[in-house]
Amino acid sequence: MPDLGTADAEIRIVEWLVEVGQSVARGEALLTAETDKAAIEIESVASGILQEVRVEAGDEVAAGEVIAVVKGEGGTEISTESATEPGPDTAVEAEVPEPQIAPAPAQPSGPKPSRKGMFARNREARARRPAGGRRHAGLRDNQRAVAKRLTRSHREIVPFDMVCRIEMTAAARQLEILETELQRRVGYNPFFISAIAGIARDIPCFLSYQLGDEVGTHEQANVGFVVGFDRALYIPVVHDADGKVPIDIGREVSRLALKAARGRLSVEECSGACVVVSDLSGYPIQSFNAVIPPGSSAAVAIGGVEEVPIVKDGTVAVVPAVQVTLTVDHRVVNGRNAAMLLTRLIESMEAL
Amino acid sequence: MKETEYDREFLVDLYERMLLIREFEEEVKFLFLEGTMPGTIHQCQGQEAAAVGVCSALEEDDVITSTHRPHGHALAKGLTPEEILIELFGGGTGCCRGKGGSMHVGNIDKGMPPAIAIVGGGIPLATGMALALKMQKRPQVAVCFFGDGATSEGAFHEGITLGAIWDLPVIYVCENNLYGASTRVDEITRMPHIAERAAAYGIRGETVEGNDVLAVHEATRIAARQCRDGEGPVLLELETYRLTGHSRRDACHYQPEEEREAWARRDPILVFGRALCQRDDVEQADLDRIRCDVEARVAGAIETARGEPAPTLADLTTDVYA
Ligand SMILES: Cc1ncc(C[n+]2csc(CCOP(=O)(O)OP(=O)(O)O)c2C)c(N)n1
Ligand SMILES: [Mg+2]
């Protein structure tokens, strides 16, 4: 594994791009990995047959570990074997055997001059480091960034919550149409994003935010949505969502969610949310409060869809509904404006 | 066809030098991926025509300053692949005795002080070197390579202001590769061309197709003549593109795919190779032979470089000035 990270963190294998048994050329992309900075394609350093893969997608490895073995085509038996079975003392620094450089001149054979590889040196230095040193910070960069933002939110933002119930009969019907059209599952996010963007446009305090002493305003109604994985959390943003129709937003949501799953979102794609939506409507939970990311004015938390009895025109009916919890940063949004947003949200969602 | 106005040897030499840089950078990339090459590296695949076009128009004793992306400049200025590679490996016989590494390669005897990795840092220094040349009434020129990112540094303004008011023999060469790390140039300036900034200093500026090695050569030749005639400085903007990450650890997701593909079609080596083959006296086989030679040369240099011992503790204070 090449030394591609910028911190002392492990590198996660995202995907092997070549299957075991297939041939791979020097310089051809062999796998994608996720460093503390970004997902990156890693080129093979040798040509040959991919003989063995020692780490699976999802595994985390340190720079310098052997992750695969490529059996060289042009290489002599010796060079291949010496690299596939490194002696106990050999610093294993290449993931593959020494490449044979095609019309290279005859080179002096014999043992390689011994120069301890950087990785071996680093590993030794790490081993010498007292336990509890930097290594314990095994957090991946995403987790570190999320932790930092959550802490900042907790420290600075003055949250203020308000709950309402929204009947989802119309929304459920529209969702079915949308998902059939898109041929993908996207959930209720597109409808909430579309509605909230329009409302935020009309109630401008939702476009403002406070960071430290600085108060700012977003020029467009950008709405973020939370995408969570086992060990990562992203809030990609649908920019200028006001005026976009749910089907277009649905496409964008699905594209962004896919990129999130691959760890490939750009900074821009995760920046600039005025309001964020957290949709857990598929789970049997009643309601929850979402954390407002610094730089946003509010978070909308959508609880699980439940069949509930409601009184309609004097009689009791059973309908699907969700509890929505709006959390606002009270420094920029007051209670009346929060109530207005929820009122409008109920109207939009029930009239879909 | 312009290529017919030059003699064959000169053109083939340009081609070979660009290819040497490309091969050097590609091999270094694999050394890095293998884990044998320490540190991160800034490479210049795609920008070879800038380095070679400029340096081919200079005299051996003209001086250049370089940046965090210096391998191409160094090879174009006549440093050998060996002395650079040894430096990259941290070997004691490298061009900076193993104490500089990738971002500081240089050889003052070949007109290249160690490269300066501080963005924009070379601009006042090249200006100072040009001042020395002028005060000593010497005929050489100083050439200062820097990126588009450097043009927003204070050092750019300060350096060029002094160069201009003192009429110094210095060519400011901006390799505009559209990005400073991940930031696009149009996010840092309203000016469509960096060369237009020359007007603000009362000097001549020119935007040049930076992937056309002959265009770069010609523009530099004229600029150097102007400087030697006491009519410097000149600001040259070479429009080019980096066909690789900002550093080896950069996944380059900010370069749109279509943009990267469009520039890959304008690969300076590809384009120049094609133009060369238009001549009656150059065939594809000639170019292939050059490629083989270059590959062998770099492979040999790597072998040599791997074996060089690192500096010892006793070398700690030698060749260190501050
Ligand atoms: C003064 C300074 N700031 C920041 C950096 C970090 N840095 C290194 S290269 C780089 C980008 C430079 O971009 P550009 O000048 O366009 O050169 P290019 O990398 O495109 O060749 C930055 C910000 C630095 N080395 N020096
Ligand atoms: Mg640049």
| Mean pLDDT split into 10-residue runs, chain B, 322 residues | 79 97 96 86 97 97 98 98 96 93 96 97 98 97 98 97 98 98 92 95 97 97 97 97 91 91 96 94 93 94 92 87 74
How does DSSP classify residue A304? -
Q: Which residue has the higher pLDDT, A76 or A326?
A: A326
Residues of chain A with CATH 3.30.559.10: 155-350
**B198 CA → ligand 2 middle, Å:** 18
Question: Distance between CA atoms of A231 and A223, rounded to whole angstroms?
Answer: 23
- Cβ-based neighbour number of residue A313 at 10 Å: 5
Mean pLDDT of A31-39: 82
Mean pLDDT of the A291-306 span: 96
Q: What digits encode the pLDDT tens for the residues A322-346?
A: 999 999 999 999 999 999 999 999 9
Ranking A22-36, A139-153, A321-335 by mean pLDDT, the lowest is A139-153
Longest CA span, chain B? 58
- Chain-wide mean pLDDT for chain A? 82
Range of lowest pLDDT (A66-80, A293-307, A327-341): A66-80
Cα B98 to Cα B91: distance, rounded to the nearest angstrom: 5
Task: Work out which ligand 1 atom sits closest to the CA atom of B119.
Answer: 26
Instruction: Give me B172's structure tokens.
Output: 């400011």
Per residue in B175-193, pLDDT (tens digit) is: 999 999 999 999 999 988 9
For residue B295, give the chain A residue with the closest CA: A104
CB-count exposure of residue A171 (10 Å: 0-12, 13-18, 19+): buried
Q: Is A19 exposed, middle or buried (0-12, 13-18, 19+ CB in 10 A)?
A: exposed
- Pick from A58-67, A147-156, B80-89, B243-252 the range whose average pLDDT is largest: B80-89
pLDDT of A133 reads 37
B73 lines ligand 1 (CB under 6 A): no
Residues of A in contact with B26 (CB under 8 A): 27
Residue ranges with CB less than 5 Å from ion ligand 2: B 147-149, 177, 180
What would the pLDDT profile of B225-250 be if each residue is shown by its tens digit? 999 999 999 999 999 999 999 998 88
- Distance between CA atoms of B81 and B26, rounded to whole angstroms? 13
- Residue A184 has a CB neighbour count (10 Å cut-off) of 15
| DSSP at A288 | -
Tell me if B296 and A103 make a contact (CB, 8 A cut-off).
yes
Give me the total of CB pairs closer than 8 Å, taking one residue from chain A and one from chain B.
Answer: 75
Q: Which residue has the higher pLDDT, A165 or A80?
A: A165
How far apart are the C-alpha atoms of B208 and B271, rounded to whole Å? 16
Q: Are A105 and B299 in contact (CB < 8 Å)? A: yes
What is the length of chain A? Answer: 352
Reply yes or no on domain A10-134 having CATH 2.40.50.100: yes
Query: Residue B180 Cα, ligand 1 centroid: separation in angstroms?
Result: 6
Indicate whether residue B103 lines ligand 1 (CB < 6 A): no
The tens digit of pLDDT for each residue in A192-245 reads 999 999 999 999 999 999 998 889 999 999 999 999 988 788 999 999 999 899
Q: Could you tell me the residue ranges of all domains in chain B?
A: 3-305
Task: Kindly report the three-state secondary structure assignment for every residue of chain B.
Answer: CHHHHCCHHHHHHHHHHHHHHHHHHHHHHHHHHHCCCCCCCCCCCCCHHHHHHHHCCCCCCCEEECCCCCHHHHHHCCCCHHHHHHHHHCCCCCCCCCCCCHHHCCEHHHCECCCCCCCCCHHHHHHHHHHHHHHCCCCCCEEEEEEHHHHHCHHHHHHHHHHHHCCCCEEEEEEECCEECCEEHHHCCCCCCHHHHHHHHCCEEEEEECCCHHHHHHHHHHHHHHHHCCCCCEEEEEECCCCCCCCCCCCCCCCCHHHHHHHHHCCHHHHHHHHHHCCCCCCHHHHHHHHHHHHHHHHHHHHHHHHCCCCCHHHCCCCCCC
% of chain A residues with pLDDT over 70: 79
What is the total residue count of chain B? Answer: 322
Measured from the Cβ of residue A92, the count of other Cβ atoms closer than 10 Å reads 16
Token digits of residue A131: 């336990």
Contact call for residues A14 and A259 (beta carbons, < 8 A): no
How many angstroms separate the alpha carbon of residue B181 from the centre of ligand 2? Answer: 7
- Half-sphere exposure (CA, 13 Å, Cβ side) for A152? 13
Span from the CA of B128 to the centroid of ligand 1 (angstroms): 21
* B35 at interface of A, judged by CB pairs closer than 8 A: yes
Which residues of chain A are in CATH 2.40.50.100 domains? 10-134
Q: Are A38 and A52 in contact (CB under 8 A)?
A: no
pLDDT attached to residue B5: 81
Q: Can you give the pLDDT at residue A142?
A: 74
Is residue A140 within 8 Å of residue A231, measured between CB atoms?
yes
CA–CA gap between residue B322 and residue B313 (Å, rounded): 17
**Strands A223-225 and A237-238, bridge-based pairing:** antiparallel
Residue bearing tokens 């606002």: A328
Q: Which two tokens stand for residue A206?
A: 């939702």
Mean pLDDT of A267-283: 93
Architecture in CATH of A155-350 = 2-Layer Sandwich (3.30)
Is the pLDDT reported for residue A76 higher than 70? no
CATH architecture of B3-305: 3-Layer(aba) Sandwich (3.40)
CB A96 within 8 A of CB A48: yes
d(CA B306, CA B287): 29
Query: pLDDT grade, residue A128 (50/70/90)?
Result: low
The pLDDT, as a whole number, for residue B25 is 97
A99 touches chain B (CB under 8 A): yes
Contacts of B285 in chain A (CB under 8 A): none
> Left, alpha or beta for B14 (phi > 0: left; psi -120 to 50: alpha)?
alpha
Contacts of B251 in chain A (CB under 8 A): 37-41
| Separation of alpha carbons A241 and A201, rounded Å | 10
Question: What pLDDT score does A121 carry?
Answer: 55
The C-alpha torsion from B287 through B288 and B291 to B296, rounded to 10°, is: -140
Interface residue B248 vs chain A (CB under 8 A):
yes
> Which residue out of B43, B119, B184, B243 has the highest number of ligand 1 atoms within 8 Å of its CB and is therefore the one to mutate?
B119
Residue A107 near chain B (CB below 8 Å): yes
User: If contacts are CB pairs under 8 Å, which of residues 206-235 in chain B contact chain A?
Assistant: none
CA distance B38 to chain A (A): 6
Q: Are A305 and A312 in contact (CB under 8 A)?
A: no
Q: Under a CB-based contact definition with an 8 Å cutoff, are residues A54 and A85 in contact?
A: no
Nearest ligand 1 atom, CA B247: 19
- The residue among B29, B249, B290, B297 with the most chain A CBs within 10 A of its CB, best to mutate, is B249
Looking at residue A243, its pLDDT comes to 83
Q: Token pair 């590198």 is at which residue?
A: A11
Instruction: From chain B, pick out residues whose CB is under 8 angstroms from the CB of A108.
Output: 303
| pLDDT at B37 (0 to 100) | 86
> What ipTM was predicted for this assembly?
0.79
User: Using CA positions, which residue lies closest to atom 13 of ligand 1?
Assistant: B180
B224 in contact with ligand 1, CB cutoff 6 A: no
Contact status, residue B235 vs residue B198, Cβ threshold 8 Å: yes
pLDDT at B283 (0 to 100): 92
Instruction: Give A40 to chain B, closest Cα distance, Å.
Output: 5
Residue B122 near residue B89, CB atoms below 8 Å: no
Q: Which is it for the CA torsion A344, A346, A349, A351, positive or negative?
A: negative
